[in-house]
Structure 1
Amino acid sequence: MTGIETYIVDSFTDEPFKGNPAGVCLIKRAISDEKMLSIAQELGLSETAFVHLQSGQEKIPIRYFSPKMEIPLCGHATLAAAKVLFQNDLGITKIHFVNTQDLDLTIRKDGAFIIMEFPIYGTEPRTAPEALLVALGIDEIKNSAYNEETKILLLEINDCKVLQGLQPDFEKLKRSIDSINGVLVTALSDKPDYDFESRYFWPWSGTNEDPVTGGTHTFLAKYWGDRLGKRKMNSFQCSERTGFMEVELIDQHKMTIKGKAQIVLKGELTI
């Protein structure tokens, strides 16, 4: 029997039981992909991060699994994993994670905040199927675009109150299209402290709705930055749990995501 140090961390929030809960497993010996998927299914969270710790390593391998499949990049699970490592070793202020795409994810501690360096992705115009809009309960969209790296369809709508009130039919949503990993719906915020809002639905590859999604901001930040003429913006994800983050476009290829996280559970998983 093997014991794996395991955590549940609420990301992109300053309160427990809000934001997006992620599993974090600290792995000291390699385990199979099948075992990692089984653990993600057992925890039942939108993503679980597997952090492979070895002595003397400069770059720490990290992998992400939803209950359905491996995900190459996940913002909230990266934040959760960094929170655990920073709390376990108060002397460190910087972490280098490396994912399966060989992306070097530099993470810095800034007081109570954690700042993550992520790549910037673009979008291209893409028509949204009418059946998808019906399943989401959306009558009208302002724009539709697609990000190839994440295989996510972006829909911009005019009213963030409509966004907050969406109640998708997830079975119809899954049947409406089969070539994407998820659909992100976004709108300008009417809140004074935020620039834009979003919700992310991904029944094709994860749970029905991801409460707060750092990974979508790899293209969402550029999307809104171009429209608003801003490089630093505040994002609010208006899911039931809610969550928030600050994003900043550093150059053409690199951005930062700044947020907080709360560790709510620590234990040992026995396999």
Structure 2
Amino acid sequence: MSTTAETLRYAAFTDAGAGGNPAGVVLDATGIDAARRLAIAAELGYSETAFVEPTANDGTYRLRFFSPRAEVGFCGHATVATAVAIAERHSPGVLRFDTAVGEVVVRTTADDTGILATLTSVPTHTRPATADELAAALTALRYAEADLDPRYPPHVAFAGNDHLVLALRDRAALAALDYDYAALDRLMAERLWTTVHLVWAEDALTFHARDPFPPGGVVEDPATGAAAAAFGGYLRELDLVPLPARVTILQGADMGRPSRLLVDLGTRAGGVDVTGTAAPIE
């Protein structure tokens, strides 16, 4: 039983070895209670830290996530970081994570560039944002309805957590993001949204994204695997991309941490595959 924890630091969803989203990973959190896990996450200061508990079954782990403020049901980038850390210490293969939102399967493979991890989310679903939700979000984000791209309707998309999806007409509006942190924090707490997934479509299969993340105690997340999975489910359910498809999400560039997330969509409903790399932070 572990009562002290070695916290590893990884950047997940790096782009050509740079950028990515930092995550903490505690590979054996057995015996560490929730209060201590929250304290570790707060001390580290990343948007999420993953806490792993081995089980009696090889390749199967209990996995919980904590932001500096609270436990989070699911976190994509910390899952990828955890999978890569385990694969580096054992060998690539299939990992099964028992999370608060259900089982998440991650396949790890190795090539000349390192270890690649592909997570399959829980089944996705999406619904239109209400008029009140949209009005409150736009006010907090300091955008107007005229800033939105009408090809992509405002929705609340789910892949383990809820994410408000808003598409902007042009890249400049995305780059100019400057929102009311307190107002958006209150709205997201009320609606139980994990991030707001703001996107701009470079083309039909390439999107630039920014993710305000007040629930995690940070202004913005540089790479958000859970939001990428939810967005993929949204694109599939609303027939916004030809299927099957691989969607590329470029995130974090506006905050100096370029990140690349690959989202694979099949023709059947269910989970969404999100692929990325992770590297230790020296």
TM range, smaller chain: 0.7 to 0.9
Instruction: Tell me how far 1:137 sits from its aligned partner.
Output: 2.4
How does 1:77-116 map onto structure 2 within 5 Å? 77-89=78-90, 91-111=91-111, 112=114, 113-116=116-119
RMSD: 2.4
**CA 1:104–1:203: 2 relative to 1, 3 Å:** closer
Identity %: 27
The CA distance in 2 between the partners of 1:95 and 1:176, in whole Å, is: 35
Which one has a larger percent helix, Structure 1 or Structure 2?
Answer: 2
Matched length: 262
Please name the residue that 2:192 is paired with: 180
Structure 1 ranges of 4+ moved more than 3 A = 14-17, 54-58
SS of aligned partner of 2:32: coil
The normalised TM-score by structure 2 is 0.83
Greater RCO (CA < 8 Å, at least 6 residues apart):
1
User: Which residue of 221, 224, 235 corresponds with 1:210?
Assistant: 221
Instruction: Give matches, 1:1-271, under 5 Å.
Output: 2-14=3-15, 18-27=19-28, 29-54=30-55, 57-89=58-90, 91-111=91-111, 112=114, 113-126=116-129, 127=131, 128-139=133-144, 140=146, 141=148, 142=150, 143-147=153-157, 149-176=160-187, 178-181=190-193, 182-189=195-202, 195-225=206-236, 226-230=239-243, 231-238=245-252, 239-240=254-255, 241-250=257-266, 251-265=268-282
CA contact (8 A) 1:16 1:264 kept: no
Normalised to the residue count of structure 1, the TM-score between the two structures is 0.87
Question: Unpaired segments of 5 or more residues in structure 1?
Answer: 266-271
Equivalent-residue separation in structure 2 for 1:158 and 1:224 (angstroms): 17
SS at structure 2 position matched to 1:119? coil
Contact 2:38 2:71 in 1 (8 A): yes
Cα displacement (A) at 1:245: 1.4
2:124–2:271 Cα contact (<8 Å) kept = no
Deviation at 1:207, TM superposition (A): 2.0
**Do the aligned partners of residues 175 and 69 (structure 1) sit closer, same or farther apart at CA in structure 2, a change above 3 Å counting?**
closer
Q: Give the partner amino acid of 1:155.
A: L
- 2:162 counterpart letter in structure 1: K
